[in-house]
Structure formats: C-alpha cells, structure tokens
Structure 1
Amino acid sequence: MSLATVASRAVNALTADLVTVEVHLAPGLPGWSVVGLPEGAVREAKDRVRAALVQCGYDIPAKRITVNLAPADLPKEGGRFDLAIALGMLLASGQLPRDALQGVEVLGELSLSGEVRPVRGVLPAAIRCQEAGHALLLPSANLLEASRAGSVRLHSADTLAAICQALQGGGLPVHPVPAHGEAVPTAAVNRPDAVNRPDMADIYGQSQARRALEVAAAGGHSLLMTGPPGSGKSMLAARLPGILPRLGHAEALEVGAIASVAGCFDAQEWGIPPFRQPHHTTSAAALAGGGSVPRPGEVSLSHFGALFLDELPEWRRDAIEVLREPLETGRISIARAAGRCEFPARFQLIAAMNPCPCGNLGDAARECHCTPEQVARYRARISGPVLDRIDLHVTVPRVPMEDVVAAGAGHRAARGESSETVRRRVAAARAVQQVRQGTLNAALPARALESVAVTDAASALLLRAMEQLDLSMRAYHRTLRVARTLADLAGEVSVTPAQISEAVQYREAQALR
C-alpha cells in the first residue's frame, strides 16, 4: 500500500487554514473516494484529475484510491485541491520523487486538458504560507496576486505537465515574480482610465455638499445627501474616490484579502480604496455576506473605502437595517448552522435620497404633489437608529441654470476646486489623525473622545446644541468626531466653537425630519 501527503489551504472567511491532502492507494476493485467534508465541486475533483493525468501521459493506478482532506471537520469547497490531489496521486504511485514537495504548499484547479486554472483566496493563503515558512506552488494567473503577500517563495506553472517535468528534474517551476509594487500603479492617476476619472471640478456650485464630501473623506465619516432629482447627488458620490488618499500596505493587504476571498481581486486596484455601488434591489444577504461557506458582502468589499447607496428609501428595510452594526463597530458577524465567521467592514456610507416620493419637496422651481402622509411614509422607510449612525446630513438643492451656463461658458468661478487639490487636504488631515491616535476620527472609540482637545466655549456650545436638538448620546459622540475632523482640516490643535457650529449644522437636517 502507498500513501502520499501534499499540503494545501482552504478558504475559511479571511483565513486560509492548512489542509493536508492524503492520497492512499490500496489493492481492491478500482475506484475513487474523496472524504473530509468535501462539497460538490471537491467531490468532482476525481474526474478532473483523472482526465488531466491521462492527457499529460501519466498512468492511473488500477487500485482503490482514497483521498482524505484533513482536518475532517473543516468544510472544503471549490476546485482549489485539484492540483494537490493530482500530485499526491503521482507521488503515491511512484511516478514522481517522494520528497519532491517537501515544504511546499499547493493550490490550483485543473482542466480536463491539464491546464492549471486560477482559484480564489490566494492572497490569504500566501500570507499564511509565508508565516509557516513554506513555499507556494500555484497557477501562473495567481502569481501577481500572491506576490502582494511579501517575501513568500512562489512557484507557478500553466500546466500540470510543466510542473511534473520540473519535479522530475529535481526542482520546481520558477517564473519571475514581480517585485513588490511592480506592475501595479504607484498612484491612482496612473491607471489607464485616469483621464476619464470623475473630477470635483466637474461639479457646478454645491459648495455645502462639496464641503461635506471633503469632511467625510478626511475623517472617514458617513454622509447622507438629500435633494431633488438631478441636483448632483450621484455626481458628488462618484467623485469621492478621487479625493481619497491611497491605502497603506497593511490596509491594502486587508482589502486585497477580502477581494481575493470574494473572487474579485484586481492587481490594478492595489492600494486604491474600494468604491462599491450596488443596485437598490440588492438583498440583505448580498450586503452583509454569507452563504453555506460564508463570503464577504458589499459592506466588507467596501472595507477602508466607500459604499454608495443611491435612492436609499427604495432599498428594502431589512437591507438597510443590516448597516446598523458595521456602521457602529466596523465589523460584521455572520452566523450559520455550520459555524460563525466575522469579516471587517470599516466603510464610509455615502447615501442619497429624494426629499419626497416625487422629489420636489422644498424645490423653489417645481411644485411638490405629495401629501404629508406620503412624505412621512417615504422618510419612515429609513429607521431612526440608521439615521442616527450617519454623521453628516446635507441638503443638495437644484443648481440654478445660470450657474450651469456660466460654467459651460468657461467661467472657472462657477466651478470648484479639482479633486487633486481637495485630495491633498484630505491626505494631510488623515496623516494628522494617524499620528495622533492611529486611526481616523470616525473610528475613535467613545473613551478616546474624552481626550479630544475642546475649548470651554466649544464644549458649552455643543452641550447647548444637543439639548436644543434633543439628539442622542451617539449623535453627541459623532458630532464631536466630525468637529475634530473639521479642526484637523483647519490645522487647529483644539476644537473651537466654529467647528462645533459647523458639525451641528450637519445634524440639524436629521433633527428636522
């Protein structure tokens, strides 16, 4: 009897747990069995592996073949174990040297022709592989993704035949691994679509909304824009990515790991804060994440970036309520019968809505035909606790036509600053926050707010505003965080009455609902 083991990795939330692929050949009627809690795609691996081995000219032993994926209580899914099973078969049958894969972990799906196809979750696997001091053998299509992990030793190939040829020669296939940062843009402006990137200079007027967007970007705050159709709410939201600074290496690794597990990793997006814009028909499960083997949802795919929800009252109530916990904690916990997992979800919520069903309430140019009851029902689709968790509430009025014409005629005064100018201020404010507290102001815990420097006059003004507007303790804390961001943008050491006054203005719209 012959036995061979090959190391691999399974996807389990954002971790990549070690899986030992054991291939056992025993006398008896020829047949295959795959055990170790495999799901459908893993059980089908035997057919893909058999065809790939035959196409590459290797023999299938006429024995009873048992493939065990240990540990047995860890769910396994996808085709990521195909390559490990195929190589384990060749090791067990003596067609490859028995110690050929010592200290090497293997990932990859096989086609029937023996091509090695990419798999998801490679970046977390590469990180764990590096921590274990192992090398990683993977598909060539995943090579750039795995190289983001750091100094892990990587080996890749396009076909099973190329891998076996290298192993028979006493080595492993070696492809040049790009240096860290190579083939990845060093700045967002270097991307191929940079010339078409939305710019803040395209926005006519809307000085208050532009200011609120800058404040939101500087402190990582959530923002709700309310205004009639065509006032520019979606245009403003689309320009948020252009004023956000690039992510640090640790943040980029977290964001990249989430995208890798979700199967949407893009090397061209490395270091760029994500911006997600799901349709309002998106379900609560798609927002939160989940599944029999849980995958990250939109709130996690927006981690360290922004999640834009347009037409907020048109979203299903249960989908909006999903946002409560991640907006407060920056994480989302998903519990299923098979287990529980947690994903990071430190995102900025950028939302937009009309003031009423017809959209014309408060518009000086158009008449609103909605009854007070219709307006109340429309606004009640968003619960008070969700609104309470949104830091900035701003009204976006319709832009007067004369301003649009003036801007179109080339009068720069009718336009605002460019995204690059705003981005520099946002980056400077964020740098101050990182030095002072190691996190953005929006993520400051309540206890840390006690140490925020506030002048006596500013403190008295904030207390008076909270009493007059009858806002909650959560609103108090969030208003103070916004005021701290305003002070950082102004270069102030302490929060002054001017910053408190502006921060309270962003809460008045909520209080008047």
Structure 2
Amino acid sequence: MLVKVYGSAVFGVEATTITVEVNITSGIGYHLVGLPDNAVKESSYRITAAFQNNHYKLPGKKIIINMAPADLRKEGSAYDLTFALGILAASGQIKADNISDYLIMGELSLDGSLQPIKGALPIAIQAKKEGFKGFILPKQNVQEAAIVSDLEVYGVDNITEVIRFFDEGKELERTIINTREIFYNQLNDFDFDFADVKGQESIKRCMEIAAAGGHNIILIGPPGAGKTMLAKRLPSILPPMTLQEALETTKIHSVAGRIKENVGLMSQRPFRSPHHTISDVALVGGGAYPQPGEISLSHNGVLFLDELPEFKRGVLEVMRQPLEDREVTISRAKFTVTYPSSFMLVASMNPSPGGYFNDPSAPVSSTASEMQRYLSKISGPLLDRIDIHIEVTPVPFDKLSDERKGESSVSIRERVTKARELQFIRFRDLENIHYNAQMGTRQIREFCKLDENSKLLLKTAMERLNLSARAYDRILKVARSIADLENSECINGVHISEAIQYRSLDREGWLA
C-alpha cells in the first residue's frame, strides 16, 4: 500500500515541502531513498524502538520510503515522526484518511516522546503558503510555529497523541497566540539600562549618535573603563523592531535552533558577543550544510567584538563584504544559500598589549611604538567601515559613588526613534538605504550639503589634525545623524565639530 505524508526541508531561511512516499509490499528490507544524510538514515532504529515501546510494530515486509524531490539533500532527525506515521498508515495499523492535509515533523526518542526540531517558523510559513490545513510538531516548538496565522498548529509530546488523532479522531490541543499583543508587550523589556551607567556622559552621547544613524563604532580604552558595559546597553536604545524585522530575525534563529523553548516571536534586537577564538566559518556561517553564523544571528541587532585585535586577522577580513552588502552568500558545489546580515558592529579594544595608554602612572604602560604595532593588527579596509572611534576613559571615584541615576534608555530611545523616522522619510525612494550609515557617495553629496563656514571648519580640521581622506565621508555621515537628533534639516558647524571628535584613529599623532 502507498501512502504520502508531508514534511519539510530548510535551505537558508526558506523551507521546501518534502513529499514522503511510503510503499509497503511483500518481501523483506527497509529502503530509504531521496538523498538522506546519516541522521535521516538512522531514523529506522529510533522508529523501531518507539513502535515497540508503544505497542506497535515495524512491518516484516519490504518498506520503501522515497523523499521527493529526490535531488535535494535531506538532513537532520526531524523526519522521524513523518516516516513513522507513513509506515503505520501504509501497513494498515492505523486509519489516516486525512494525513495529507497536515505537515508532520518531529524527532523521536526511543520511548516515543518527541524532541524539538530546527526551522519550525519557516516550515510553518511554507505550510500556510501551500495550503496545508495544519502543522503537527513537538510541543517545544509550538509557540514559534503558532506565530503564523490561519494555520492550525498542534504541539504534541509523544507519537501516541498523533496516532490517536488520526486513528481515533481524538482532538489535539491547538495553539493560538496573539502575535501582535505578545510582540508589543515585550518591546521595552530590557535586562540592561543606561540609567545604571555612572558618568561616561560623552560615551553615552556617542552611543546615541551611533544608534540614531546605524553607525558602526569602536571603543578604545583601558581595562575596567566600561566598554563592555556600554556595548551591552546599546540594544536598549535602538529603535523598536518592526513586526517584519522580528519575523526575519526569528526565522534565522529558528533555522539555527537558537529559539528558546516555549518562546515565539523575538521582540528584542539580538546582541551577539562571540569569543575572540571564533573561526571564520562560525562568524559568517557555513559548514557542509551551511548554517547561519554570528553575523546573521545578529541581523537587525548588534554584533559585539570584544578585544578586536585578539581576533584572527582572517576572521575579521571575512566581515568586510557582509558589512557592505548586508547579506552573506555561502556557496557549495550543488547549492547556494544567502543569509541576511544587517547588523551594527560594535568593537572594543585596549590601546596597547598592556591595556593602558602611554601613562607613566598606569600599572603597565606601553610605548608609542608598541601601541602602534598593536593597533595595526586591524586592517585599514575594516577600520574604514567603522564610522565612529571613541576613547573611553576610567570613571573617577566621585561619579562611581554618586547615587543618582543617569538618563534612562527609554528617554534616549525616543530621540533615536525620532531621528530614524526622519531618515525613513529621507530615503523612502531609495532601495537598500534605510539609515545614514548606509549612504553612498551620491547620497552623501545630496543629503550632507555644507555651508561655507562648515566647509572651512572641516577643511581646517583635516589639515590641522592630519585626518585621512577616508575620514571625510564618515564625518559627514555622522554629522548628518547629529543633525537628525536635533531635528535639523541642515548640517552646521556645531554638528561638524562634534563629528570630527569621533575619528580618533584617523588622527596622526594620536599616540604621541
């Protein structure tokens, strides 16, 4: 008897429906075809044990299972439940007249209970597109899949529940969530707040400008100055995610299996902080079956690279193209996948191997040549993609001991959001440009026009501070963001003056 059951395979952040054809005839043997990997092939052992422990049996006949389309590589253990239901239906052990109305996925334990799967959200989206009535999957993934409206989503704990649903008509509990209500209720739920930061007013101002324009930023300062603390609070002042951004971000984390149990739509911008020993594949994504890397997991959020010079040079260099294109394409012999990677890069570093500036009173001081050699570990092309350089100095005792709270993230976020709204209007007719940091040369010339006094100020600063040529466009972009925070249509000398301060590493003699 031939039965068709439906599962799904995920490639990149999109899902493809897989038709599982189970044919049982006279003879002996278990044959699985359709380019399965080892995890898929091992499903027969899990299915056999699950059947035995739930009073069913694997038929002693010839079982042929085909996974169509047969030219697509199938991977993972999420097809166990699909195969098991197909075998039971094809062997006549259960009635399953309406099994083709549902998409079924789940990994079986030997006792018949279900383990979570990866990619539940893109699978649910595809199931709705193709007109399936419902989606049956492990209960741990049900919140994630239930984000998709107009699709019946059923979370189950074990195979027996699914069997009774098809064989006896016993109802499963459908999961329905109000996506918008949950999303908007969690928008302002942060673990970190700028109100807890003592002092560092100039650095907080700098972070506000970076958030307003989507600028990449590097923090340079000695150990204990507060670089990591400030970076962790940056997501709390970024504009709230839109529902579309939240869906994109959740899909990527779903594919990577990073969604927490019983969590649906991600409403907080991601903050990723990989260790400096990370490989280039782990950072940009890849592997035999390409998975998203850290730059994609930080899509619509922040990628924080602590101790930047300690990262391997090759690892940092692979970020150059994704920083420009806002996506990363991973190619293999038989297929290519593209993951989005639009993130804010926040890097921090000590100014020298010893960690301190050229200060005689410091515990470990370094010479200018040592500091220059340390800084040179970061390539010019990568540094060229970082708009803001800021020096972070230790907080004095009187500010550390001050009991008063600083300005809250909510207040800063309101100003940042208003600045982003101005940029949205400004760039609404331009494709792939949404905020100031994404401006190219043409947009800079159009939207960052200077009056004569501002031009003279910028010229004088570049000559006196020996600023590099690459600093020119960066200063204009940052000045545009400063002007947006003040709701100013024009860039003036005050905006230019402040922007010039944020190009520390471009100044000749900075280490002198």
TM-score, normalization by structure 2 = 0.91
Instruction: Using the TM superposition, give the Cα deviation of residue 44 of structure 1 relative to its aligned residue in structure 2, in angstroms.
Output: 0.5
Instruction: Using the TM superposition, give the Cα deviation of residue 352 of structure 1 relative to its aligned residue in structure 2, in angstroms.
Output: 0.7
1:11 counterpart residue number: 10
Q: 1:430 aligns with which of 411, 420, 432?
A: 420
Distance change >3 Å, CA 214–CA 280, structure 1 → 2 = same
Distance change >3 Å, CA 251–CA 364, structure 1 → 2 = farther
Is 1:260–2:226 an aligned residue pair?
no
1:163 counterpart residue number: 162
1 CA distance for matches of 2:149 and 2:482? Answer: 37
2:54 counterpart residue number: 56
Do 2:114 and 2:159's aligned partners in 1 also have CA atoms closer than 8 Å? Answer: yes
1:227 counterpart residue number: 221
Matches within 5 A, 1:268-283: 270-283=266-279
Q: Choose 52-61 or 212-221, whichever is displaced more.
A: 52-61
1:32 counterpart residue number: 30
2 CA distance for matches of 1:425 and 1:364? Answer: 41
Do 1:299 and 1:347's aligned partners in 2 also have CA atoms closer than 8 Å? Answer: yes
Give the aligned length.
Answer: 499
1 CA distance for matches of 2:348 and 2:228? Answer: 7
* SS of alignment partner, residue 174 of structure 2: coil
1:320 counterpart residue number: 316
Q: 2:66 aligns with which of 68, 73, 83?
A: 68
Q: Choose 9-18 or 57-66, whichever is displaced more.
A: 57-66
Q: Which amino acid aligns with 1:374?
A: E
Is 1:353–2:355 an aligned residue pair?
no
Q: What is the percent sequence identity of the aligned residues?
A: 41
2 CA distance for matches of 1:113 and 1:90? Answer: 16
- For residues 411-461 of structure 1, the C-alpha deviation after alignment (integer angstroms, 9 at most, x for no partner) is x3xx64222221221122222222332522223454444441534337735
Q: 1:441 aligns with which of 436, 447, 459?
A: 436
Q: Choose 494-503 or 124-133, whichever is displaced more.
A: 494-503
Q: Which amino acid aligns with 2:304?
A: F
2 CA distance for matches of 1:275 and 1:269? Answer: 16
1 CA distance for matches of 2:22 and 2:274? Answer: 44
Q: Which amino acid aligns with 1:234?
A: T
Distance change >3 Å, CA 449–CA 103, structure 1 → 2 = farther
Matches within 5 A, 1:287-436: 287-363=283-359, 365-366=361-362, 369-405=365-401, 407=402, 410=403, 412=404, 416-436=406-426
* SS of alignment partner, residue 102 of structure 1: helix
Distance change >3 Å, CA 507–CA 151, structure 1 → 2 = farther
Is 1:132–2:122 an aligned residue pair?
no
Instruction: Using the TM superposition, give the Cα deviation of residue 309 of structure 1 relative to its aligned residue in structure 2, in angstroms.
Output: 0.9
1 CA distance for matches of 2:472 and 2:33? Answer: 56
1 CA distance for matches of 2:232 and 2:59? Answer: 58
Q: 2:206 aligns with which of 198, 207, 212?
A: 212
Is 1:107–2:105 an aligned residue pair?
yes
Is 1:509–2:508 an aligned residue pair?
no
2 CA distance for matches of 1:216 and 1:33? Answer: 57
1:245 counterpart residue number: 239
Instruction: Using the TM superposition, give the Cα deviation of residue 275 of structure 1 relative to its aligned residue in structure 2, in angstroms.
Output: 0.5
* SS of alignment partner, residue 50 of structure 1: helix
Q: Which amino acid aligns with 2:506?
A: Q
Distance change >3 Å, CA 103–CA 259, structure 1 → 2 = same
Distance change >3 Å, CA 160–CA 453, structure 1 → 2 = same
* SS of alignment partner, residue 209 of structure 1: helix
2 CA distance for matches of 1:161 and 1:226? Answer: 59
2 CA distance for matches of 1:65 and 1:246? Answer: 52
Instruction: Using the TM superposition, give the Cα deviation of residue 363 of structure 1 relative to its aligned residue in structure 2, in angstroms.
Output: 4.1
Do 2:3 and 2:21's aligned partners in 1 also have CA atoms closer than 8 Å? Answer: yes
Do 2:323 and 2:385's aligned partners in 1 also have CA atoms closer than 8 Å? Answer: yes
Instruction: Using the TM superposition, give the Cα deviation of residue 338 of structure 1 relative to its aligned residue in structure 2, in angstroms.
Output: 4.4
Instruction: Using the TM superposition, give the Cα deviation of residue 230 of structure 1 relative to its aligned residue in structure 2, in angstroms.
Output: 1.4
Instruction: Using the TM superposition, give the Cα deviation of residue 181 of structure 1 relative to its aligned residue in structure 2, in angstroms.
Output: 4.1
* SS of alignment partner, residue 412 of structure 2: helix
* SS of alignment partner, residue 502 of structure 2: helix
Structure 2: segments with no counterpart, 5+ residues: 429-433
* SS of alignment partner, residue 442 of structure 1: helix
2 CA distance for matches of 1:169 and 1:133? Answer: 24
Distance change >3 Å, CA 103–CA 65, structure 1 → 2 = same
* SS of alignment partner, residue 503 of structure 2: helix
Distance change >3 Å, CA 128–CA 371, structure 1 → 2 = same
Q: Which amino acid aligns with 2:105?
A: L
Do 2:146 and 2:264's aligned partners in 1 also have CA atoms closer than 8 Å? Answer: no
* SS of alignment partner, residue 242 of structure 1: helix
* SS of alignment partner, residue 225 of structure 1: strand
* SS of alignment partner, residue 502 of structure 1: helix
Instruction: Using the TM superposition, give the Cα deviation of residue 122 of structure 1 relative to its aligned residue in structure 2, in angstroms.
Output: 0.5
1:80 counterpart residue number: 78
Structure 1: segments with no counterpart, 5+ residues: none
Q: Which amino acid aligns with 2:195?
A: A
Do 1:454 and 1:496's aligned partners in 2 also have CA atoms closer than 8 Å? Answer: no
Q: Which amino acid aligns with 1:141?
A: Q
Do 1:224 and 1:394's aligned partners in 2 also have CA atoms closer than 8 Å? Answer: yes
Q: Give me the CA root mean square deviation.
A: 2.4
Q: Which amino acid aligns with 1:169?
A: E
Distance change >3 Å, CA 5–CA 477, structure 1 → 2 = farther
Instruction: Using the TM superposition, give the Cα deviation of residue 293 of structure 1 relative to its aligned residue in structure 2, in angstroms.
Output: 0.7
Q: Which amino acid aligns with 2:372?
A: A
* SS of alignment partner, residue 45 of structure 2: helix
* SS of alignment partner, residue 348 of structure 2: strand
Do 1:465 and 1:504's aligned partners in 2 also have CA atoms closer than 8 Å? Answer: no
Q: Which amino acid aligns with 2:150?
A: S
Q: Choose 449-458 or 238-247, whichever is displaced more.
A: 449-458
- For residues 216-260 of structure 1, the C-alpha deviation after alignment (integer angstroms, 9 at most, x for no partner) is 111211110111111111111121122223211100001000110
- For residues 58-88 of structure 1, the C-alpha deviation after alignment (integer angstroms, 9 at most, x for no partner) is 2322211111112222121111111111111
Do 1:228 and 1:363's aligned partners in 2 also have CA atoms closer than 8 Å? Answer: no
Instruction: Using the TM superposition, give the Cα deviation of residue 28 of structure 1 relative to its aligned residue in structure 2, in angstroms.
Output: 1.5
* SS of alignment partner, residue 9 of structure 1: strand
1:150 counterpart residue number: 149
Q: Choose 173-182 or 79-88, whichever is displaced more.
A: 173-182
Instruction: Using the TM superposition, give the Cα deviation of residue 472 of structure 1 relative to its aligned residue in structure 2, in angstroms.
Output: 4.3
2:116 counterpart residue number: 118
Distance change >3 Å, CA 287–CA 377, structure 1 → 2 = same
Is 1:492–2:482 an aligned residue pair?
no
Distance change >3 Å, CA 220–CA 371, structure 1 → 2 = same
TM-score, normalization by structure 1 = 0.91
Distance change >3 Å, CA 487–CA 46, structure 1 → 2 = same
